[in-house]
Chain A
Amino acid sequence: MSEENKYWHILEEFEPIKDERLPKGREEVTSPTSRRNFLKVLGLGTASAAFIASCKRPAEKAIPYFIKPEEITPGKAAYYASSYFNQNEFCNVLVKVRDNRPIKLETNPKSVVTPKGTSGRVQASVLDVYNVNRYQHPQKSGETIDWETADGEIVSQLRQLANEGQPVLLLTPTIISPTTKKLIGNFAETFGAEWQQYDAIPMDGFREANQRTFGVNALPEYRFDKADCIVSVGCDFLGTWLSPVEFSGQYAKRRDLHNSDSQLNKHFQIEAGMSLTGSNADVRIRAERSDYGRILAYLYNQLAAKKGAPAIAVPTPPQEITPKLDEVLDDLTANEGKSLVVCGDNNPDYQVIVNGINQLLGNIENTIQFERTYNHFRGSEKSLETLLSSSPGAVIIWDVNPVYNHPESEKIKAAIEKAPLSVAISALPDETTELCQYVLPSPGYLECWDDAEYKTGVVSILQPTLHKLFDARQAQESLLAWMGNESSWLDTIKNNWASTYFPQQNEQSDTERFWVETLKKGELVLDAPSVTIASNPDEIGNSLNNINTENQAEGFTIELVENVNIGTGHGPLNPWLQEVPDPVTRIAWDNYASISPAVARQEGIKNGDVIQLGNLTIPAFVQPGQADKTISIAVGYGRVNGIPEELITGVNAFPLAKAENGFRQFAVSGFSITKTGGFEQMALVQGHQSMEGRPIVRESTYDKWKEDPASGNEMHEEIKHHHTTLYKEHEYKGHKWGMAIDLNKCTGCSACVLACNTENNIPVVGKKEVRRAHEMHWIRIDRYYNGDEENPEVVRQPVMCQHCDNAPCENVCPVAATNHSSEGLNQMAYNRCIGTRYCNNNCPYKVRRFNWMDYTGADAIPNNRYDPANLTMDLSRMRHNPDVTVRAKGVIEKCSFCVQRIQEKKLTAKNEGRQLEDGELQPACQQACPSDAIVFGDMNDPNSKVSKMMKDPRNYHLLEELHTLPSVGYLSKIRNKS
């Protein structure tokens, strides 16, 4: 009906309708938006807006790029070559950067030093950058000041002290950066400063011994990959000694049995406490720590007798181990020039004898090489002489914490407090920075420029991957500023490279090009210098004499060891490292005194009973394989400063160490055990140590394997033979993902666990929750003991979701939150999960993890967060991998085979119009494994490495008799023993 035509039928229709309710004198307002309608619309609008807004949290601080930096594509990761260095660990890495944030460290496959894998500590180091406890501004006596003031005051005082002739001490950790070394040289010259390098666990005894025997003050390159027979006397070379990531790779190469020609090495470990390395040995000989010297002397003398070299009689080691040592000798002499004897003790006399043994065996220049020597571990007992004896005028302490990790802690404290000027350069608060007048925050290594020459002739560059988070300045920049040098630290490095390394290469003709290319690769390999090795047989005689006059140990000997993850005291600051259980004891969040089962029985001590050892009060742990008279305690615990309360754990054992003949010793005798009656429940994640005779880890010996590669794994064929089902089986038309794990290569180092943590945003739950078996790790490394408790054999097995084709978890979920992908993945839809935990119960492998509380802050209910480690603060959240959902309270999670990586690589391949290559796609655990024990790939591709491994006669599936048809295969362990 148009407006023009208006039809009517009665006259009244022309009259306007009067609203009776309207008061007189007021006209009705006619509008399509009446007051009522307006209110209705307003009400509806507000309600819907509120409703819609409450459905989704508004995005915070999302500001798009105004001008997009060229190298940043939102949602796409960039990788930068850099390096990690901390005490005994060095790793060439690729830093994965997403949206300007480093979130993960990956192996740099082009690296010469560490071409495969990283350590757990490297993986966890990304969290250090986002540590909420970092110093954010320069401080003077606890007050925030600015850099100009700090610089002005420090420089004027330094000059004044230099004029007065008072010594200035610069204390650093071992510096492996060639440019920094030069810079420090200049600094020392300018201010007349003394530069000392300090190591918490020094290796000066090794250097001294090499000086004595070979005339070289160096730590040689050990070639575990060339050794057919390895004899280690208390040396944890796979866990903590010298260069464990590198050694793990070398060692694993000789544990590889992919074809019948493969030659397995034979590894003897003679040790007191059960170390990671010892738990991997083919033959572990239990010996007292105080007998190491005699054992070495015995080995030397027996060999010398065979070779006709002079021997000096030394009291023989205990009767019960000499026959075993004779076996060791047989193997050593059978592998002359292809064997390697190492000892982990810092006593130079021991090391001289080790050198003598290796010399007799012809291992020098074969398995021990002096061309590419290690440049770390420059610290010695003399490092702190100035500080302790002649009170210095100024102490500049850069990233070392002697107040915590030196036995003379109190004296150092006093010296620092007495010094007229004390400056600490550190990223995080610690026991030493606490005492200094000035605290200058330094950035983490992912925010820094640096270079590193870890092994002689292999120089790496470290580049920043993150803008400095706080008002921090690199120590080198501070030194430059104090010297009045205007040039930037980066320019200093570049100039040094242009003058030092550019002439040594001939690939690049332009210095800038040379710099950029090296930066891309991450390292520069120069020709190895040739070294002449002297031979001083007299030294061996002297050392044997010294051992001969060694005092007989009385009482219990305490040996201080390093925990694989915690190290010398840096680890406690990192909750990821704390939460990973020790690979041998499977205890997280604590240190303890490991005592032998016999002693425990005799003294009536149970796990967790607190004992008193001298001044140390510590819970005891009964460790199978522990020598009776030796008690092992891990150092690195008991840190207090700069740690959230929840992370303060354990006891500091460093004060027990002592210097003997000028070399720090980490084994001390003369203790007795007293029970205090206290009890401390430890965060033990594996309470049961035996496999109960179940075929969980299958193993055999090398001799049997040579006859029948399926030995020890006979049941696999039988079970496969019984494979039958009434139901329709899954069909995989495209990919079918699978993983093979070589139990012969896995050492248990836990790098995979930490890599998985980083990659998959796994929460840290803290000590109390780990005690309650609430840990969240998607991959764990089971450890079982086999044989007698006195000296058991150890087997290990990394267990993650097995991605069963017949998954018991899938059919029990009432809401189908866990289901099977067309590529064989057992997937979790977190959004769908309602948390019945039925899947977890029905998983025979117990790999599913439940978010018991709001560990991540992703829960919708307020004020219920459980985050003892402060990892849900804005800063710490920056570590998150944006490709992986952060799970909320009440959902189940588990290993996804790193499905985000699978998708990413599949898409890349698709975009590039090609097939996915085998090995291109690596889940985080495989990527981080230094031993190459984990292989992932497409089982539908018969030529893929994983398919081949699955066909290996050693391959079996965990609990395969249940017919769960896992996609993970294990290759049985083969021990080289008779």
Chain B
Amino acid sequence: MQVSQVREPLINGEKSYENITADVMAPVRAKPGKLWFFGFGISALVMLGGFAAIAYTIWFGIGTWGVNRTIGWGWGITNFVWWVGIGHAGTFISAILLLFRQKWRTSINRAAEAMTIFAVMCAGLFPLIHMGRLPLGFFILPYPNTRELWVNFNSPLLWDVFAITAYLLVSLLFWYMGLIPDLGTIRDRMKTLWKKKVYNFLSFGWKGSARHWHRHESMSLVLAGLAAPLVLSVHTIVSFDFATSVIPGWHTTIFPPYFVSGAVFSGFAMVLTLMIVTRRALNLQEYITVGHVESMNKVIIATGSIVGIAYITELFMAWYSGVEYERYAFINRAMGPYAWAYWIMMTCNVISPQLLWIKKLRRNLTFTFILSIFINIGMWFERFVIVVTSLHRDYLPSSWSMYKPTWVEVAIFMGTFGLFFTLFFLFIRVFPVIALAEVKSVAKSSARKFIRKSSKNQKPEKE
């Protein structure tokens, strides 16, 4: 196969197919180490703390939060939007990059997708628990009932319900679809009977026959086709929660593209944060290379710049519209009592990703790791700025107020991290972190070993 000399290999080291299988399967087959138990334990504890705080909220009411008559949504919805945003990278990588035939996605798509699903699960918690009457939350579903009550299809919150559920379902299916051949591989390597049985069940009896592969491939493509528009629609619809309202700072047509690019931006940052640690912890440096990191950093520059332009456009439109409420909302963002949040957002989201234009930094793992955390923080503050600073000073100054989270809100937010990492820790021990079958499918064209072999055939390399 003709491979450009310039293109760096996606799999380093002299990895044969056998090696790939062994490396990727190692964490699944080996007994977890102390570090894993430590991480898992902490995460589970924090998660339980979060659940306790949720129970407390449901028992005593939303009054245990810092939200008030003016600011109806606080950390709850901020976290919701943030987590949904985080959940954008996985499907973006596996669906959209699949359609665009980006081979580098193969090393990261599995973990990114898992992350997506966990993030969406964390996100989905918030709209539920921020309801005043969660036990009656099922009212939000359009089910036939004797009271002849129907939901309000005009409400973006209802659209949210559909968008998030659809996204979660399709992402889950897509992820599982990709897992099936790998589960078959694991089953074949498992020595213990019960494990073999479990994996056999999970792999739906995968045999690796041509017919299976054919169906798998075509189904993957169908799901990719379904998932790709969902990546764009979910955050578009989430942004409608704000965009269709009348609150200055919310009522903006720019929100859908701005939210989607912001979501991909934050999602990639989260993937980087996780993968930089995971590749080291699970010894997958040869599969998730600096080249992968660089590719993701490029996506970050692109989406980060879109976000930056969106911020500036918002400011311009606030001035240009001539609407005094709109103008005030943005002056208040930049100079009001929550200006610190605005400037954290601006620094982290607009200025910091621009550093990635420098190739050295783009390929520096430590720098990328720190930067990715900055972006995660910045994107959280973006949501905080949108939700809280727009509400706290809206139309009538008589109702202006301030918002401060309580320990309950903090505990719930922490709890979602606990949930996320608990699931992630389980995931890395149960499923292959790298899509085995997919990586193998690009090995011929992108693994160092094979590239060298094939180029030798063409032209002897000068050592």
CB pair A833–B133 under 8 Å, yes or no, is yes
Mark interface residues in B294-336 (1 if CB within 8 Å of A CB, else 0): 0000000000000000000000000000001100100000000
CB pair B154–A811 under 8 Å, yes or no, is yes
B127 to chain A: which residues have CB within 8 Å?
Answer: 836
CB pair B394–A844 under 8 Å, yes or no, is yes
CB distance from A178 to the nearest CB of B (A): 47
Cα(A40)–Cα(B122), bound, Å:
44
Mark interface residues in A748-777 (1 if CB within 8 Å of B CB, else 0): 000000000000000000000100111100
B460 to chain A: which residues have CB within 8 Å?
Answer: none
In residues 140-187 of chain B, which contact A (Cβ within 8 Å)?
Answer: 140, 149-152, 154-158, 161
In residues 829-875 of chain A, which contact B (Cβ within 8 Å)?
Answer: 832-838, 840-842, 844-846, 848-854, 859-861, 864, 866
Q: A835 and B396 in contact (CB under 8 A), knowing A811-B154, A815-B139, A849-B69?
A: no
CB pair A846–B131 under 8 Å, yes or no, is no
CB distance from A698 to the nearest CB of B (A): 14
Cα(A296)–Cα(B130), bound, Å:
61
CB distance from B349 to the nearest CB of A (A): 24
Cα(A834)–Cα(B58), bound, Å:
12
In residues 114-135 of chain B, which contact A (Cβ within 8 Å)?
Answer: 127, 130-135
CB pair B73–A837 under 8 Å, yes or no, is yes
CB pair A838–B61 under 8 Å, yes or no, is no
CB pair B399–A811 under 8 Å, yes or no, is no
B155 to chain A: which residues have CB within 8 Å?
Answer: 811-814, 816, 838
CB pair B137–A834 under 8 Å, yes or no, is yes
| A519 interfacial contact with B, CB 8 Å | no
The stretch of A146-154, A588-596, A687-695, A730-738 in contact with B is A687-695
In residues 562-604 of chain A, which contact B (Cβ within 8 Å)?
Answer: none
| B35 interfacial contact with A, CB 8 Å | no
CB pair A694–B397 under 8 Å, yes or no, is yes
Cα(A958)–Cα(B396), bound, Å:
10
| B401 interfacial contact with A, CB 8 Å | yes
Q: A773 and B132 in contact (CB under 8 A), knowing A814-B155, A853-B60?
A: no
CB distance from B161 to the nearest CB of A (A): 7
The stretch of B202-210, B213-221, B244-252 in contact with A is B244-252
A840 to chain B: which residues have CB within 8 Å?
Answer: 69, 72
A693 to chain B: which residues have CB within 8 Å?
Answer: 324
CB pair A889–B61 under 8 Å, yes or no, is yes
CB distance from A844 to the nearest CB of B (A): 4
CB pair A812–B130 under 8 Å, yes or no, is no
Q: A814 and B151 in contact (CB under 8 A), knowing A808-B246, A851-B132, A890-B133?
A: yes
CB distance from B159 to the nearest CB of A (A): 9
Cα(A815)–Cα(B155), bound, Å:
8
B49 to chain A: which residues have CB within 8 Å?
Answer: none
CB pair A773–B401 under 8 Å, yes or no, is yes
CB pair A864–B398 under 8 Å, yes or no, is no
Cα(A859)–Cα(B67), bound, Å:
20
| A708 interfacial contact with B, CB 8 Å | no
Q: Choose one: B67, B68, B152; the contact of A816 (CB below 8 Å).
A: B152
Q: A845 and B67 in contact (CB under 8 A), knowing A834-B131, A850-B72?
A: no
| B238 interfacial contact with A, CB 8 Å | no
For A, the interface residue count at a CB cutoff of 8 angstroms equals 62
A-B pair count, CB < 8 Å, reads 173
CB distance from B149 to the nearest CB of A (A): 7
CB pair A813–B69 under 8 Å, yes or no, is no
Cα(A892)–Cα(B391), bound, Å:
17
A844 to chain B: which residues have CB within 8 Å?
Answer: 246-247, 394-396
| A46 interfacial contact with B, CB 8 Å | no
Cα(A859)–Cα(B155), bound, Å:
27
| A782 interfacial contact with B, CB 8 Å | yes
CB pair B324–A832 under 8 Å, yes or no, is no
CB pair B73–A835 under 8 Å, yes or no, is no
Q: A850 and B245 in contact (CB under 8 A), knowing A774-B69, A813-B152, A834-B133?
A: no
| B354 interfacial contact with A, CB 8 Å | no
| A959 interfacial contact with B, CB 8 Å | yes
CB pair A775–B131 under 8 Å, yes or no, is no
Cα(A959)–Cα(B151), bound, Å:
29
CB pair A816–B151 under 8 Å, yes or no, is yes
Query: Chain A CB within 10 Å — which of B62, B149, B158, B241 has the most?
Result: B62
Mark interface residues in B60-93 (1 if CB within 8 Å of A CB, else 0): 1111101111101100000000000000000000
CB pair B132–A835 under 8 Å, yes or no, is yes
| B100 interfacial contact with A, CB 8 Å | no
CB pair B60–A815 under 8 Å, yes or no, is no
B137 to chain A: which residues have CB within 8 Å?
Answer: 834
Cα(A734)–Cα(B351), bound, Å:
60
| A48 interfacial contact with B, CB 8 Å | no
Q: A962 and B70 in contact (CB under 8 A), knowing A784-B398, A814-B157, A837-B132?
A: no
Nearest A residue (CB) for B58: A861
CB distance from A750 to the nearest CB of B (A): 15
CB pair A814–B66 under 8 Å, yes or no, is no
Q: Choose one: A687, A769, A780, A845; the contact of B63 (CB below 8 Å).
A: A769
B69 to chain A: which residues have CB within 8 Å?
Answer: 773-775, 840, 846, 848-850
Nearest A residue (CB) for B406: A772
Mark interface residues in A675-709 (1 if CB within 8 Å of B CB, else 0): 00000000000111111111010000000000000
Mark interface residues in A782-814 (1 if CB within 8 Å of B CB, else 0): 111000000000000101000000001001111
Cα(A866)–Cα(B136), bound, Å:
21
Q: A782 and B396 in contact (CB under 8 A), knowing A815-B152, A962-B246?
A: yes
| B402 interfacial contact with A, CB 8 Å | yes
CB pair A845–B395 under 8 Å, yes or no, is yes
Cα(A964)–Cα(B325), bound, Å:
15
CB pair A814–B152 under 8 Å, yes or no, is yes
CB pair B133–A891 under 8 Å, yes or no, is yes
CB pair B151–A815 under 8 Å, yes or no, is yes
CB distance from A737 to the nearest CB of B (A): 23
B244 to chain A: which residues have CB within 8 Å?
Answer: 811-812
CB distance from A184 to the nearest CB of B (A): 49
Q: Choose one: A772, A812, A889, A892; the contact of B157 (CB below 8 Å).
A: A812
| B59 interfacial contact with A, CB 8 Å | yes
A814 to chain B: which residues have CB within 8 Å?
Answer: 140, 151-152, 155, 157-158, 161
Cα(A690)–Cα(B391), bound, Å:
18
| B367 interfacial contact with A, CB 8 Å | no
CB pair A837–B152 under 8 Å, yes or no, is no
A859 to chain B: which residues have CB within 8 Å?
Answer: 61
Query: Chain A CB within 10 Å — which of B150, B399, B402 has the most?
Result: B399
Nearest A residue (CB) for B402: A687
CB distance from B133 to the nearest CB of A (A): 4
| B400 interfacial contact with A, CB 8 Å | yes
CB distance from A956 to the nearest CB of B (A): 14
CB distance from B269 to the nearest CB of A (A): 28
B161 to chain A: which residues have CB within 8 Å?
Answer: 814
B131 to chain A: which residues have CB within 8 Å?
Answer: 834-836, 890
CB distance from B55 to the nearest CB of A (A): 11
Please give 15 more A-B residue pairs, beta carbons under 8 A apart, in addition to A690-B397, A772-B66.
Answer: A686-B399, A688-B398, A694-B325, A814-B140, A815-B139, A836-B132, A837-B67, A838-B155, A838-B157, A844-B246, A845-B399, A851-B61, A854-B60, A890-B133, A891-B133
Write the residues of chain B forming the contact surface with A, with a CB cutoff of 8 angstroms: 58-64, 66-70, 72-73, 127, 130-137, 139-140, 149-152, 154-158, 161, 241, 244-247, 324-325, 328, 391, 393-402
Shortest Cβ-Cβ A-B pairs, 8 listed: A835-B132, A890-B132, A852-B63, A837-B72, A773-B68, A782-B398, A853-B63, A846-B399
Write the residues of chain A forming the contact surface with B, with a CB cutoff of 8 angstroms: 686-694, 696, 769, 772-775, 780, 782-784, 797, 799, 808, 811-816, 832-838, 840-842, 844-846, 848-854, 859-861, 864, 866, 888-892, 958-959, 962, 964
What are 26 residue pairs bridging A and B, where the CB atoms are less than 8 Å apart in the complex? A686-B398, A692-B397, A696-B396, A696-B397, A773-B401, A775-B69, A784-B398, A799-B396, A808-B246, A811-B152, A811-B154, A814-B157, A815-B151, A836-B130, A836-B157, A837-B130, A844-B396, A845-B395, A845-B396, A850-B69, A850-B72, A889-B61, A890-B62, A890-B131, A890-B132, A959-B395
